[in-house]
Structure 1
Amino acid sequence: MTDLLATYYPWTKALHIVSVVAWMAGLFYLPRLFVYHVEAVAAGSETDALFQTMERRLLRAIMNPAMVATWVFGIALVFTPQAGVYWDEVWPWTKAVGITGMTWFHHWLGYRRKEFLAGENTRTGRQYRIMNEVPTLLLIVIVFSVVLKF
């Protein structure tokens, strides 16, 4: 199995990066859609239905598959010798904390989408703007962990 992972290491790494980029794009965009949805759209309107469709498609067609792919290729990299993941170092653990936070945020957004669907959103545009900074902070932790190996 290790030989197979070693053979496909460049492909696994490339697919991991592509899936991370797609996932991050969604994590940045969905809270911004929520800001506009809350501030400019009346519940039950035609525009409300349009926003709900955009939010659903972004989450289900892009973000969910990208998150799963990120996890699958990331776990494959953990078991690939060339990736150089050594659990006695600090950086894999800080990266793991960042990824866990990113996954929590993804699911938090999914629950917020369901609130919009049910007409039960209680958060303001300002709250969504603040939450929109969460993936940026987690991305900084993850990238610095991997690149600087701290």
Structure 2
Amino acid sequence: MTPERQTGEGPGRRARLRVALVLAVLAAVIALLVFYPPDELYLWLKALHIVAVISWMAGLLYLPRLFVYHTDAPVGSAQSETFKIMERRLYRMIMQPAMGLTWLLGLYLAWSVYGFKGGWLHAKLLLVLLLSAVDQYYGRAVAAFSRDENRNTGRQWRIWNEAPAVLMVLIVILVVVKPF
């Protein structure tokens, strides 16, 4: 008995359905929280924001590692084609929805709790914009890899892997310490 390949259309369709189901449940939870707010709505939205940030950061840290390995795979090989599927699914089904929720919930929290005031908050928003730019750069790289047009070396992708980590550290320090 041969195990089913995870790169075919069937597993891809099932993965998309699972992601759609998770997003629908999350949307329903957010709708319930907004239309039937509990006493501690802020804490619920903050918890969902943190979950979205963790999901987005996981993708931002893992995707460039896939690029490193993909760079070493011969163009047109089965390994290269598998990396294309992994990269596309990670970016479209995990990273993009997580980034959207991070922004949506984060902006709502910044407005409702802080009224968009505070130097630390403005600095944090600037760093999150930079993190979003890194995300978009990775999205263009996913498209380039899918066309077999990667221009970066494995070493360059290793360096790019550090950008989200550095930004994440700075953002967490701003949020927790609120230095200004």
Corresponding residue for residue 26 of structure 1: 59
Q: Matched residues in 2 for 1:46 and 1:146: separation?
A: 44
Amino acid at match of 1:61: M
Q: Matched residues in 1 for 2:123 and 2:117: separation?
A: 12
Match for 1:137 among 166, 175, 179? 166
Instruction: Tell me the CA shift for residue 49 of structure 1.
Output: 0.8
Give the 5 Å matches for 1:1-150.
7-39=40-72, 41-81=73-113, 85=114, 87-150=116-179
State whether residues 52 and 116 of structure 1, in contact with CA within 8 Å, keep that contact through their aligned partners in structure 2. yes
SS at match of 2:52: helix
Q: Matched residues in 1 for 2:39 and 2:109: separation?
A: 9
How far does the alpha carbon of each residue in 1:16-41 deviate from its partner, in whole angstroms, 9 at most, with x for none?
000000000000000000001102x1
Larger Cα Rg: Structure 1 or Structure 2?
2
Instruction: Tell me the CA shift for residue 86 of structure 1.
Output: 5.4
- Long gaps (5+) in structure 1: none
How does the TM-score come out when normalised to structure 2?
0.76
How does the TM-score come out when normalised to structure 1?
0.90
Distance verdict in 2 for CA 1:42–1:16, change over 3 Å: same
How far does the alpha carbon of each residue in 1:88-107 deviate from its partner, in whole angstroms, 9 at most, with x for none?
42100110111001100000
Instruction: Tell me the CA shift for residue 60 of structure 1.
Output: 0.7
Q: Matched residues in 2 for 1:5 and 1:103: separation?
A: 31
State whether residues 110 and 116 of structure 2, in contact with CA within 8 Å, keep that contact through their aligned partners in structure 1. no
Higher RCO (CA < 8 A, seq sep 6+)? 1
Instruction: Tell me the CA shift for residue 148 of structure 1.
Output: 0.6
State whether residues 75 and 148 of structure 2, in contact with CA within 8 Å, keep that contact through their aligned partners in structure 1. yes
Percentage of matched positions with identical amino acids: 43
Amino acid at match of 2:176: V
Distance verdict in 2 for CA 1:79–1:6, change over 3 Å: farther
